[in-house]
Amino acid sequence: MDIAIIGSGYVGLVTGVCLAHIGHNVICVDNNEEKIKVLKAGGIPIYEPGLGELLEKYRKSGRITFSSSIAESSKKASVIFIAVGTPSKKNGDADLTYIENVTREIARNMDSYKLLVEKSTVPAQTGNRIERTVKLNLPNKFKNGNKITLEFDVASNPEFLREGSAIKDFMNPDRIVIGVESKRAERLLREIYKPLKAKMLVTNVATAEIIKHASNSFLATKISFINAVSQICERVGADVEQVAEGMGYDKRIGRAFLNAGVGYGGSCFPKDVDAFVRLAEKSGYDFKLLKSVREVNEEQKQSFIRLVEDKLWILKDKTIAVWGLAFKSNTDDMRSAASVTIIEALQNEGACIQAYDPQAVPNAKKMLKGIKFCSDPYAAAKGADCLLLLTEWEEFKAADWARVRDAMRQAVIFDGRNFLDMKALGDLGFEYYGIGRGHV
Ligand code: NAD
Ligand code: UGA
């Protein structure tokens, strides 16, 4: 099938490459000319494991092409996925400006049937708004003096991939959700995804939109729940890791997304929780549970900052090593990373930060000022009064900890992800603090 993807970011590019991989012809579109230039030249504007190889393969074979023109690409495709950003407004609403702009442009260039698919995460009712926008912007076409009515459908096909494992998630989804209002749209989407042989749930558009918000919000709730439990564990001498394990063996609960830490970040959970709270508010429901999820998440970062402040005593002119800046491992994404809040708070107290991240430094440089960025973890640890582990990159586990200890001025570690072996570090002479698992 000929498919256009509007928006070539973390989701758009992965969707494009994976759809090419399962046999479709894909045009990836973005209004960021620089991005398109990089992609056409064989480059890749983001870090996502496995994406570069597939992109190269299908770019070479011609199955995936790139364009900065919605007009040109939407004419070639019968199915158009919209994967532009839907950031938060100040009041928490999803900002749907990009969605409206793209919809208008698609409509104005329509010359035959099109299926517009919401891939971006959008609040319920967006499907109706897209439909209305298309109708308002369709060109007037006449044949023998009679106005031709151009047909189109709007569908919702939310994306559940995670950054860092995006290709794997897309190719092996737990489910594919298709929100449609016509048989034609359902048939097209079923056809597109057939090679994935995945569980498919067909609903109406509003239901699919809510499934996405409810899923992200539920996962955020799980994280805040275990983070709240971690606070109690810390106070009563319990170990939150074992609590999560013990809970997780219950199939009704599951172990996934019960990792206590410095709170969830990223471009999705914070914004999608906000948007769901706002959607609820507008529909007349006060979603108190989700508001608490958000509060617990903020409090978790503050509690970590307080712990560091308490154990370091005076922060002014102390050197703090930070390992990991990205909002999670295996990505270069810094959007709403907990590291930003934590680092800025410690800088405000006069601490000097030496940071290392395997992939996120270029993005971090745009967001954090006054930091010494280091090219390896040992350089970041050199002369430090403590080390904060903020992202669970696998390479940190394999560090030469005796070397780290000897490089530091004080061997103190704050493990914001409960990622390291507390006992082994204690044996090596480190003072170790985790989240809800005590210290050695
Ligand atoms: P992103 O910022 O990485 O990519 C969005 C792209 O859209 C950018 O490259 C931007 O230049 C482009 N764009 C904006 N306006 C445009 C226009 N008028 N024409 C063409 N291109 C335009 O964002 P993302 O992380 O890929 O997220 C996109 C959507 O997918 C969001 O709604 C997000 O909530 C949702 N989502 C993201 C993830 C994820 O892991 N990142 C997962 C599931 C769903
Ligand atoms: C999340 C969802 O997992 C995806 O299903 C969804 O498609 C995506 O949002 C989206 O809508 O954009 P992502 O943000 O890429 O994916 O990453 P996650 O692995 O979910 O992690 C989100 C945040 O929660 C990270 O900061 C991570 O460190 C944190 N987290 C995750 C925890 O603190 N504890 C956990 O147990 C799990």
CA dihedral 260, 263, 269, 275 (to 10 degrees): 130
Mean pLDDT over residues 157-167, rounded? Answer: 97
Pairing outcome for strands 25-29 and 64-67: parallel
Q: Which residues are catalytic?
A: 268
Atom 29 in ligand 2: residue holding the nearest Cα? 264
Report whether pLDDT(245) > 90.
yes
> Atom 36 (ligand 2): residue with closest C-alpha?
257
Domain residue ranges of the chain, discontinuous segments joined by +:
2-203, 204-440
Quickly list DSSP for 195-209: GG---EEEE-HHHHH
Does ligand 2 come within 6 angstroms of the Cβ of 108?
Answer: no
In ligand 1, the atom with minimum distance to the C-alpha of 159 is: 43
pLDDT of res. 418: 98
The domain covering 2-203 belongs, at the CATH homologous superfamily level, to NAD(P)-binding Rossmann-like Domain (3.40.50.720)
Q: At what angle do helices 10-21 and 51-60 cross, to 10 degrees?
A: 60
d(CA 406, CA 400): 10
Laid out side by side, the sheet with 2-6 consists of: 64-67, 25-29, 2-6, 79-82, 114-118, 152-156, 176-179, 200-203
The pick from 47, 167, 229, 257 for probing ligand 2's pocket by mutation, whose C-beta has the most ligand atoms within 8 angstroms, reads: 257
**pLDDT, position 143:** 74
**Which of 6, 28, 30 to mutate to test ligand 1, by most ligand atoms within 8 A of the CB atom?**
30
- Contact, 432 vs 311, CB < 8 A? no
**What residues contact 165, with CB distance under 8 A and at least 6 apart?**
49, 330
Taking residues 304-329, report their average pLDDT: 97
User: Which ligand 2 atom sits closest to the C-alpha of 337?
Assistant: 26
By percentage, how much of the chain surpasses pLDDT 90? 96
d(CA 206, CA 289): 22
- CATH fold, domain 204-440, is Rossmann fold (3.40.50)
The burial of 399, by beta-carbon neighbours within 10 Å (0-12 exposed, 13-18 middle, 19 or more buried), is given as: middle
Whose C-alpha lies nearest to ligand 2, atom 9? 268
Return mean pLDDT, the chain. Answer: 96
What pLDDT was estimated at residue 140? 80
Instruction: Return the pLDDT at 327.
Output: 98
DSSP string, 94-160: B--HHHHHHHHHHHHT--S-EEEEE-S---TTHHHHHHHHHHHHPPPEEETTEEEPPPEEEEE----
Q: Do 383 and 404 touch, CB atoms closer than 8 A?
A: no
> What tens digit of pLDDT does each residue of 330-361 get?
999 999 999 999 999 999 999 999 999 999 99
Q: What are the tens digits of pLDDT across the range 99-111?
A: 999 999 999 999 9
